[in-house]
Amino acid sequence: MICEYMEYVYIKNVKIAKTAALAPMADVADGAFRTVAKKYGAAYTVGEMVSAKGLVYGDKKTAALLKTADFESGFERPRAVQLFGSEPEFMAKAAVIAAGERPDIIDVNAGCPVAKVVKTGAGSALLKPENAKLFGGIINAVVSAVDIPVTVKIRSGWDENSINAVETAKIAEYYGALAVAVHGRTKRQAYSGTADWGVIAAVKKAVNIPVIGNGDVDGAEKCVQMYERTGCDLVMVGRAARGRPWIFRDIARYVETGEPPSALDLTEILAVMREHIELIVRDKGESAGMREARKQAAWYLKGIRNAAGYREKCARLVSLKDFYELAGRILADAGS
């Protein structure tokens, strides 16, 4: 390994390789995506965030988000499910339901910046200084409800005037969270600007539980830089994995050997893309699956020749046959 500390991190009894984990991206990190990410080297995966109230009220679509992706042994391990909500009692009840699906970890979302989540008092709304007591109550309720590790994902703060990740992480630790993931942006930044890795480093110094760093890691070298500059215990990759699940393999190889990643050729990219889209269709059926596949396919095609035109065609995919024809056209065009 190129860094002697790059081995494993433990969240209670959950052993995770210190390479890179898949972040819990809503409407992205479904079972198919997690399966492909795991196959291509993700050390740990966190599923799409799940509404606590939806789960407690028995919504079937919400419950489906808890399902484990099937990979080789039939289990996606280690894995976490992520819950969001603003009421401790609902979060506790949802955690019990989620634990029934046998995840390794339950993660509490206190970082989502999306308006429809924030307006309910959940996600990044929990980072407002005036919500510190509520945040602590939620962590306490979830930890008390289940016997598996509970973690939390936060941001650097609500806005540039309230950078309170250190205080928030300390609250989480006090109430029993066993790790904290820190995205180095504020709620107001959403996904714009640059992530502040200094905030991640400050959290690492302030707490005695594992700290997971998140933000702006788009390749193997950046991953190692985050480990070195922040001292974090694990790196989490989100948007950079869309259309590039092999980023986890590149990171693992670089961390372990120092070998720089080599670019995939078009045939290899299309093969991974096909595998991913077939998994989506397997899980969701052709009609719903192909609607989901449109954006996934477009991400895979980023950077190839004539990408804009192909992405336009992706937006009109309605069947696997359409996809196979498009993939064939892309290969034919590349050879002409």
How far is the C-alpha of 204 from the C-alpha of 123, rounded, in Å? 22
Six token digits for residue 156? 């650097």
**Smallest Cα–Cα separation from 234: which of 259, 212, 266?**
212
Chain mean position to CA 67? 15
The answer to whether 112 is a known catalytic residue is yes
- Which alpha helices (H) appear in 45-87, and where do they start and end? 52-56, 60-64
Q: Is 124 helix (H, G, I), strand (E, B) or coil?
A: helix
Per-residue tokens: 3 = 């860094």
Q: Which of 3, 112, 223, 314 is catalytic?
A: 112
Burial class (CB in 10 A: 0-12, 13-18, 19+), 119: exposed
> β-strand 14-17 against 8-11: which pairing, if any?
antiparallel
Which residues are marked as active site? 112
